[in-house]
Structure 1
Amino acid sequence: MSLTSILSAEAIENAIKDCQAPESFTYKKFFQLCGLTKKSPQEVKDVFGILDNDGSGFIEEEELKFFLQRFSPGARLLTDKETKSFLSAADDDNDGKIGVDEFQAMVLS
């Protein structure tokens, strides 16, 4: 499964363009622009599975740096500040990683 089977390529491109500059990534705006906030809970879980690069059931800080590149290979890396901010916003149980339920709650809230 690919992200473009869930989200439109055009929406992904627009979301990536919006946060090209370092320190310009805002997860809420990104989720809205790429159309993820309008998807079903199952589709959000499917996207999580694609973003969980190592298949651990979690998105760890190291994977989060490459978040934008999972949507578009030519996209930039998230900065350390953006990565830490993103992680702390989603990591409700403070275990240092984002689980599928945390991701789903973040996207659909």
Structure 2
Amino acid sequence: MAFASVGLKDADVAKALEGCKDAGKFNHKTFFQACGLASKSAEEVKKAFFIVDQDKSGFIEEEELKLFLQTFKAGARALTDAETKDFLKAGDLDGDGMIGADEFIAMVKK
């Protein structure tokens, strides 16, 4: 699991994924708490950012957010359009339509 390098435990990630397995049930704050990411250092959260940033652009764009759960476990569901837009809105502090590393850290640590 890629997130083991960030110090997340498989059981915690599985629990977090189970909590949002149904469409419309994803809440980023709840997910970050359940998987343990919220309790990690800013440096560890930044490592997680680069895992989610699949295209290595330095930003997490809407399409990467849609597939966010799949970065934690292959076969996990894609976020709904509404969940994706809410997630982006929560993290995009400067309004550029993307989430940068600092924005991601701020969102996770909130």
TM-score range, shorter-chain basis? over 0.9
Q: Could you tell me how far apart the structure 1 residues matched to 2:90 and 2:67 are?
A: 17
SS of the aligned residue for 2:96 comes to coil
TM-score by length of 1: 0.97
Instruction: State the alpha-carbon separation in 2 of the partners of residues 48 and 8 from structure 1.
Output: 17
**Structure 1 Cα separation of the partners of residues 5 and 14 of structure 2:** 14
Q: Deviations over 1:27-80 (max 9, x none)?
A: 000000000011000000000010000000000001110000000112100000
Query: Within the alignment, does 1:57 sit opposite 2:63 as a pair?
Result: no
Partner amino acid for 1:23? G
The sequence identity of aligned pairs, in percent, is 55
* Matched residue, 1:36: 37
Tell me which residue corresponds to 1:84. Answer: 85
Equivalence for 1:4: 4
In the TM superposition, what is the alpha-carbon distance from 1:8 to its structure 2 partner?
Answer: 0.5
Whether the aligned pair in 1 keeps the contact of 2:2 and 2:72 (CA below 8 Å) is: no
Q: Give the letter aligned to residue 5 of structure 2.
A: S
Q: Which amino acid aligns with 2:45?
A: V
Q: How many residue pairs align between the two structures?
A: 109
TM-score (norm 2): 0.97
SS in 1 for 2:60: strand
